[in-house]
Amino acid sequence: MTDTSTQLREPWANFSRQQEAGKFGIWVFLASEVLFFGALMLTYTVCRIEHTEAFAAAGRETNIWYGTANTAILLTSSLTMAMAAQAAAAPERFRRLVLGCLLTTAALGLAFLVVKGFEYKEDIDKHLVPGSHFALPQAGAQLFYGLYWLITGVHAVHLSIGIVLVSRLILLGYLRKIELRENPEVEVTALYWHLVDIVWIFLYPLIYLPGRAS
């Protein structure tokens, strides 16, 4: 076990208890995030129930290739994040592996935002922004895109926070400001990252898959 007294913080007596508390605290916070995005998905579900045709039509307008690519990117980033967390928690010294995986995760996060940027630009060109000159005639379609912009926007904000957290770990770890091995912060960042990925896992079938079959 490394010398963990440097990482021991108020008011904890021993380090393993502090780690457990950190992990439990992030899980409780993730429960609140589940409610946060759950409420957004409920709004989507109720609007979709009340306007099934319009939501199918609007769903067909979304670019499914961007959506699928982004989902693949985030799933891969979850892989590399999980690797980083498990490697950091392992007693052996996987310092280069941990830094490598963290770097890949941050890169994949940025890739997601870039793809999202292209998609947003394409949506704007196709007049898919709710307002006066909206492309689709049905009223419900404006609801779909109102929710589309809001939910993907909120998700992108959460993803950006995730990228900042991962980059912070990379920087401090690389400059040896903090010891990455058995550092609870790596595990907490990983859990938060996985939540952002899970939110997208549910967003994908809601935004990109409706209306494809008819």
Partner 1 sequence: MTTPNEKTSSASDLWRLNLLIWATLMALLFASLALAYVPMGFLTPAAGIIIGFAKAGLVVFLFMELASSRALIWLAALSGLVFVAALFALTLADVLSRSG
Partner 2 sequence: MNSIFSLPEATTHAADVDNIFYLLLVLSGATAAVVFGAILVLAVRYHRGSAAKRGPLPEIVSREFEIGWTTATLFAFLFLFWWASSADLSRFSAPANALEIHVVAKQWMWKTQHANGAREINALHIPVDRPVRLSMSSQDVIHSFFIPAFRVKQDVLPGRDTDVWFQATKTGVFPLLCAEYCGTDHSMMRGRIVVMRQEDFANWLSQQPEGDDLAHEGAKLFVAQGCSGCHAASSNVHAPRLAGLYGRVVQLADGREVKADEAYIRDSILLPKRDVVAGFEPIMPSFSGLLDDGEIQSLTAYIRSLAHEKQSD
Partner 3 sequence: MRSKVTDALLNGELPLPPRPDYLRHGSTISSWLITTDHKRIAILYAITITVFFFMGGAAITAVRLELFEPNGWLLTSDTYNKLFSFHGIVMVWFFLVPSIPNTLGNFLLPLMIGAPDVAFPRLNLFSWYLTIAAGMLTVYALVAGGVDTGWTFYTPYSTMFSNSHVFAAAAGVFVVGFASIATGVNFIATTHMLRAPGMTWFRLPLFVWAIYATSIIMVLATPVLAISLLLVIAERWLGLPIFDPAQGGDPILFQHLFWFYSHPAVYIMVLPAMGVVSEVIPCFARRRIFGYDFMVYAMVAIAGIGFFVWGHHMFVSGQSIYASLIFSFLSFIIAVPSAIKVFNWTASLYRGQISFDSPMLYALGFVGLFTTGGLSGLFLASIPVDVHVTDTYFVVAHFHYIMVGGSVSAFFAGLHFWWPKITGKMYPDGWARFAAILMYAGFNMTFLPQFFAGYLGMPRRYHTYPPEFQIYNVMSSAGAAVLAAAYLLPLGYFAWSLFYGTRAGNNPWRATGLEWTTTSPPPPKNFDRQPRVDRGPYDYHAAGQSAGTDPPEVQNAREVV
116, 159 contact by CB (below 8 A): no
DSSP state of 90: S
Interacting residues toward partner 3 by CB under 8 A: 10-11, 17, 20-21, 24-25, 28-29, 31-33, 35-36, 38-40, 42-43, 46-47, 50-51, 54, 130-131, 139-140, 142-143, 145-147, 149-150, 154
Q: Are 87 and 97 in contact (CB under 8 A)?
A: yes
Of 8, 139, 164, 171, the residue at the interface with partner 2 (CB under 8 A) is: 139
């196709």: which residue's tokens? Answer: 126
The single residue among 140, 162, 184, 210 that binds partner 2, judged by CB under 8 A, is 140
Minimum CB distance to partner 1, residue 177 (Å): 21
Binding window for partner 2 (CB under 8 A); candidates: 52-60, 81-89, 115-123, 173-181: 52-60
Is 6 a residue that touches partner 1 (CB under 8 A)?
no
- Answer yes or no whether residue 175 interacts with partner 1 by CB under 8 A: no
Task: Report yes or no: 178 and 13 within 8 Å, Cβ to Cβ.
Answer: no
Q: How far is the CB of 73 from partner 1 (least distance, A)?
A: 11
Residue 146: CB minimum distance to partner 1, A: 18
Q: Which two tokens stand for residue 151?
A: 């939910």
| Helix, coil or strand: residue 178 | coil
Inter-residue contact 159 to 196 (CB < 8 Å):
yes
3-state helix, strand, coil in the chain (%, to 5): 80, 0, 20
Token pair listed for 172: 């401090």
Binding residue for partner 2, selected from 48, 51, 116, 194, defined by CB under 8 A: 51
Q: Which of partner 3, partner 1, partner 2, none does residue 53 bind to, with CB < 5 to 8 Å depending on kind?
A: partner 2
